[in-house]
Each structure stands twice: as structure tokens, then as C-alpha cells.
Amino acid sequence: MSTPPAPPTFVPVPGLWWATNFGGLVANAVLARRRRSRRLGLLFAAALTLHVGEAVHAWRFARRSGLGDDAWRWAAQTLGVGFPSLLALHDLVAERAVGATRPGNG
């Protein structure tokens, strides 16, 4: 009898999120620099701070949820794309919790 495959511990987000979210962050930085715009610079700083905070949360949450080996991948992805990665992480952890409570999975 073969053992079932191990549940995934990392789910990459679709490339479109990288293009829009990470690309938007980079575009904002370039525009702020070229136009020497204080407002765009502040917007970039706020977005970068938010992404860093989300990445730290993703890393900690992944570690606490038993995804230790992939916690750095979750953090890196969340640093780049932000909330779509966090949503994927929380969905994965919820699915794993449901799977662990099903009869016959213990």
C-alpha cells in the first residue's frame, strides 16, 4: 500500500500578481526618483514598509504553522507581491488544518 503524497508546504502565486504588485512597487520607486516627487517617495516608503511587515508576518505564521522549511519562501514571495501571498498562505494552512481533522488522517 502506497502512502499518500505529502501536502504542499508552498504555493506560488500566479505571475500576474508579480507583474502588478511587485512591478507597481518598482515603477513607483522609479517615478518617485525621476520626478523627485516627495509624495511618490512617501507612497513608495509606505508600500515598502507594508510589504516588509507582511513578509515578517508570513515568515512567522509559516513557522508557527509547521511550514518551517518553506517559511523563507513564503516571506520572499510576500515581500514581492504582498497580500495575495498572505491569502494563499492562510488558505493553505486552513486546508491543512481541515485535512488533519478528517477521519483517517490521524
- Residue 38 maps to a domain: yes
- Establish if 12 belongs to a structural domain: no
Total domains in the fold of the chain = 1
Measured CA to CA, the distance from residue 106 to residue 47 in angstroms comes to 42
Question: Which of 64, 51, 62 shows the shortest CA–CA distance to 25?
Answer: 51
Which range of residues forms the domain containing residue 61? 19-101
For residue 55, being part of any structural domain is answered with yes
Instruction: Write down the pTM of the prediction.
Output: 0.85
15-74 pLDDT, tens digit per residue, is 999 999 999 999 999 999 999 999 999 999 999 999 999 999 999 999 999 998 999 999
With respect to residue 62, please indicate whether it lies within any of the assigned structural domains.
Answer: yes
Rounded CA gap, 35 and 60, in Å? 37
In a domain, 11, yes or no: no
Within a domain: residue 13?
A: no
Residue 57 lies in a domain: yes
